[in-house]
Structure formats: structure tokens, C-alpha cells
Amino acid sequence: MSNLKLQHLEKIYDNKVQAVYDFDLEVNDGEFIVLVGPSGCGKSTTLRMVAGLEDISKGKLIIDGKDVTQMPPKDRDIAMVFQNYALYGHMTVYENMAFSLMLRKQNKNEIHQKVMAAAEILDLTSQLNKKPAQLSGGQRQRVAMGRAIVRTPKVFLFDEPLSNLDAKLRSATRREILLLHKRLHATMLYVTHDQTEALTLADRIVCMSMGHVQQIGTPLELYDTPANLFVAGFIGLPPMNLFDVEIKNGKAVCADFTVDLTPEEKQLLAAYEGKTVTLGVRPENVVPGGTINVEVNSNENLGQNTLVNGFAGKHKITCKFRDWCNYKYGDNVKVSFNRKHFFDKETTNAIR
Amino acid sequence: MTENSAAVIKRDRLRFTKNKTSSAMILAAIAANALYFVSIYRTDVGNYYYRLFIGASIVYNLVFMLVAFLCSEGVKNYKMGYAYTSIVVGLLQIGRIFYLPREAHETQSTVVGSEHLKVMQDDQFNYVVILLCISAALLVVAGVIGVMKTTTLRKHQAELDKK
């Protein structure tokens, strides 16, 4: 296993379109990094640059202290798992897993041992004589992972590997990937647009938008202390409620409600007195009881909790209550906020 | 990896790999037979070949190719019956030498002016005999390899089942 340094990587296509700006990241040995962001944010391009499938326009890529920026993909000792599995349909599972080693003309007995060990890890031993068409989507993805495992590469790359699976299978395969990482203790780079995958799998998350890295941190850091409005809105489901408020005499005031600030918040926002900032409140931080009136629009019972959508005056608001609620359209609920985030209106950065 | 464990792994590999060696050898035998078949009537002096056996010869060649192809697929998947069939068909290829090529080689032409010639000349006889020998050898060796590998696999599978 190995560490990986992505030093100020940039990707500029021939038509001058820039897909990735100044991507700088150091991945430690055995770390699981998830690149997350909406479609077109440059996460897959970054992964493909690491794999060698895209040229690096600027910056350096270093694996285990060795500069591999100009190295062809086959020499980088990297294995990639694709969304569409990329299995050979005419080969059996065993042959698919052994194929890359056969090409390298490795000893057949050693190949066999590696394939059997990978099949054991991935619970594919009974499927080894089957062809990909005879397998389910989850099993096919496990074969694709097995093909990567047998090579014992320095770095594993995953490009949205669960996107083709249904919700139940995705959840099960996600757990398998997590177990696989714990078992192999391999350095992994994983691309997804699904924040649930990012939060559950990652040691650290890289949140991207429009080719720029927005924040790098642990799942808790991104959830708890988002660096800017983009991260605040992207991480968390349902997304954070955002309101424009004016800081006035130790209170956050908008046309529809007024929120008292804690002494710490007052101190934090002292420089913003009389100015407008963005107040962010996660739905789970909206609690029943308080002074803010919410007119209920919909009530969604999810079993363990209830999502209540409504309006605080003209502001749309989503509340996630812990109890089973039975609000009806038009009901009024009084709420308050037990945790608040503030963002600079101009820079969109978090105020800290 | 010890010598013993290497042998076990080699046996275990049979469970997931096909017997491509035997299969390829049988396909090569079919190719050799095809070469034999397309060249056998090259020196048709007079109407020696236009007897009943020309039909039988054609039918046999068709049957041979079908059976050999089935053997190729069968031995690839470690089917013992096909391995034995391959050996039998190989031996029949040897037997064929003593029928059509030899008879044609030993028969004088009946065409006026060519009585001094044989229906099948020496060079052609040598050529077709070599092709039949190659075809026969490939089939027999493929069959023997098939029998050996299939026996090994069966024993190994039985050991695994016991565990």
C-alpha cells in the first residue's frame, strides 16, 4: 500500500475548457478518500487523471514518492473499478479475475492463489465458473473489485461503482466495500455524487463544485462545520435551510421571524452588526417549541422521524422532528433552532 | 510454495480452467483432415474415384469433422466420454491410410496413354499420409491428455467433497 500526492492538479482541455482547478491533496497510506460533488464538478476527471486516462495539464501526481505524472496507466500500479463493471462477457468470473495477471505472464499457480483469495474475500467462490451475464449487478461489481484486488495495486480507484445498482443492493455493496477497505487496508480513491456513500465510506471527503475543491475534511467536519454555502447545501439530507437575516442588536432578524443569538454567536457576528448574513439551519436542528411560526405544507412520516415542510412567513423551511407527527396542511407549528450556521453573504464562506 | 502444495494448486486450477490444450489439438486435427480431404482427389486419373466409396468418403469426412468438433468441446469441459472418442477417432485416422490413399497409390491408371502411372503418385501419397498421421497423433494425444486431466480433476473433486 502507499500514499498519494496530488499537487496542484489542473485539467484544461484542448478547447480551453478547464475542468479541474488547483486540486491539492495528500492521501495517506490506507486512507479512504471520497470525491463528492454534483455532475460535472470535475471529480471523475480528477480520478481519471490519477489513473492516467486523462493527461494532467498542470501539477504533479506522486505515488509513494515517485513522480508518475507522465507515466502511462499500465505502469502506475493502480487498479480502477468502473460504474459499468467493464467485465469480459465471454470469460468466466475466474478468467475475468485472472486476466490481467495472465497478461503479465505471472505464474499460473500464483494467479490461482490470488484469484481464490480474492474470491474468498468477496464471497464469489461459488460463482467462479459462471459468466458475467449469469450474475446479479452486485455480484458483477464484486467481480470487478476482485479483478482489482488480485493485482494488489498501490491505489484503488472507484468511479461511481454503485450507481448501476438498486437501492437495496447499493446499501449492501457499500457495506462490502467498507469491509473490504478495512480488510485490505488499501489506499482508495472513490468518486460518487451520492452524499450517503461519501459520509458512510470516507475517512476524508473532498467536496467539489465547478472544478474547484470546496472543502476537504472528515465526514463529521463537512456535516458539522461546512466551509461555505455550497458544502452546507450539498452535504446533509434534506439540505440545510438557508435564510437571509440582518444582525441587529444581538439578534438575527428577517421579515418573518427574529432569532436570539447566543453570547458566542454575538461575539462571532460582532463585525456583521447591521449587515445581512446567511443563516443556515439543518432540518434536524429545527425543534418543536419556540417563537417561529411554521405553516405546514406537508407531513412525511419516515418511521423514526417526520419531515415537515412548510413556510415561516415567505421562507420555505424543512423540519426533521424526531417524533411521529400527524400535522395537516395548514396547521401552524411553533419551532426554534437549536444549532445555527452563519455564512458571509458576499463570499459565501462560513463565519467562524 | 512447496512442491506438494504446487501440485495441489495445479490440480485445483483444473476446476476453473478449461482443457484448452486438448481442444486446440483436436481443432488442429480437423484442419489437417480438411487439408487431406481437399487434396485427395487432386490427381484424379480417369474415373478411379467415381465409385461408391467417393460418397462414403465424403460422408465419413463430414461425420469425422462433426464428431471431432464435439470431442473438442467435450474434452475442453473435461468430459471423459469425449476424450475416449477422440482416441478412437484418432486410431480410425490411422486405419484410413490403409484404405483410400494406399489403394489409390497401388492402383495403375486405366486411362489410355497413362497406364504406366498410378492413380495416386508418390509425392501426393506421402503428403496425405503425413496429414492423416498428424491428424491421428493430435487426436490420440488430445484424448490421452483429456483422460489424464479429467481423472485428476475427478479425484481432486472427490477429495474436496470429502472435506
Going by the DSSP 8-state scheme, the letter that residue A228 receives in this structure is B
- Pick the residue from chain B with its C-alpha nearest to A113: B9
A4-234 topology per CATH: Rossmann fold (3.40.50)
**Given the C-alpha cell 461511481, which residue does it identify?**
A160
Q: Which helix (H) or strand (E) holds A342?
A: strand A341-344
Of A94, A109, A110, the CB nearest to B16: A94
Chain A hits for B17, CB-CB cut-off 8 Å, are 94-95
Contact B13 A109 (CB under 8 A): yes
* B156 CB within 8 Å of a chain A CB: no
Q: Check if B9 contacts A (Cβ < 8 Å).
A: yes
AA letter at A302 = L
β-bridge mates for residue A105, sequence order: none
**Residues of A with Cβ-Cβ distance to B3 under 8 angstroms:** none
CB-nearest to B9 from A92, A109, A129 is A109
The per-residue pLDDT for A123 is 87
Mutate to test the interface with A, among B1, B2, B9, B15 (most CBs of A within 10 A): B9
Q: Which residues of B touch A115 (CB under 8 A)?
A: 16
pLDDT at B113: 73
- pTM over the 0.90 mark: no
* B1, B10, B16 member nearest A128 (Cβ): B16
**Residues in chain A closer than 8 A to B13 (CB atoms):** 108-109, 112
Question: pLDDT: is B112 or A229 the higher one?
Answer: A229
**Mutation choice for B interface testing from A106, A112, A128, A129 by most B CBs within 10 A:** A112
Residue B143, all three cell numbers? 484424448
Domain residue limits, chain B: 18-162
Residue closest to A311 by CA, chosen among A336, A324, A292: A292
Residue to substitute from B8, B16, B19, B78, interface A, most A β-carbons within 10 A: B16
Q: Are A145 and A81 in contact (CB under 8 A)?
A: yes
Torsion of CA A80, A81, A85, A86, to 10 degrees: 0
Cell numbers 467433497 correspond to B161
d(CA B138, CA A106): 28
Class of domain A241-344: mainly beta
* B20 Cβ under 8 Å from any chain A Cβ: no
Amino acid at B113: G
DSSP A179: H
Q: What sign results for the dihedral spanned by CA atoms A207, A213, A215, A218? A: positive
Contact A259, A322 (CB under 8 A): no
Query: Is B12 touching A (CB cutoff 8 A)?
Result: yes
Exposure letters A31-60 (e unless 16+ CB within 10 A, then b): bbbbbbbeeebbbbbbbbbbbbebebebbe
Q: How many whole angstroms separate alpha carbon A314 and alpha carbon A248?
A: 20
* Polymer length in residues for chain B: 163
Peptide bond before A238: cis, by omega within 30 degrees of 0? yes
Closest chain A residue to the Cα of B5, Cα to Cα: A109
Residue type, B65: M
> CA of A15, closest CA in chain B: separation in Å?
48
H or E stretch at A103: helix A93-103
pLDDT tens per residue, chain A (352 residues)? Answer: 588 999 999 999 999 999 999 999 999 999 999 999 999 999 999 999 999 999 999 999 999 999 999 999 988 999 999 988 899 999 999 999 999 999 989 999 999 999 999 999 888 999 999 999 999 988 999 999 999 999 889 999 999 998 888 888 888 889 988 988 988 888 999 999 999 999 999 999 999 999 999 999 999 999 999 999 999 999 998 999 999 999 998 899 998 899 999 999 999 999 999 999 999 999 999 999 989 999 999 999 998 899 999 999 999 999 999 989 999 999 999 999 999 999 999 999 999 8
> Which tens digits make up the pLDDT trace of B94-108?
999 988 888 888 887
Q: Is this prediction's ipTM beyond 0.90? A: no
Q: What is the pLDDT of residues A331-345, one digit of tens each?
A: 999 999 999 999 999
Q: How buried is residue B68: exposed, middle or buried, by Cβ count under 10 Å (0-12/13-18/19+)?
A: buried
Q: What is the pLDDT of residues B30-81, one digit of tens each?
A: 999 999 988 887 766 566 666 767 788 889 999 999 999 999 999 999 999 9
Q: CA–CA separation, A276 vs A247, rounded Å?
A: 6
A304 grid coordinates: 423514526
Task: Say yes or no: B17 contacts chain A, CB-CB below 8 A.
Answer: yes
Which residues of B, range 74-133, sit inside 8 Å of A by Cβ?
Answer: none
Mutate to test the interface with B, among A90, A109, A113 (most CBs of B within 10 A): A109
Q: Is the minimum CB–CB distance between B10 and chain A shorter than 8 Å? A: yes
B-chain residue closest to A125, CA distance: B16
> What is the rounded distance in angstroms from the CA atom of residue A274 to the CA atom of residue A249?
8
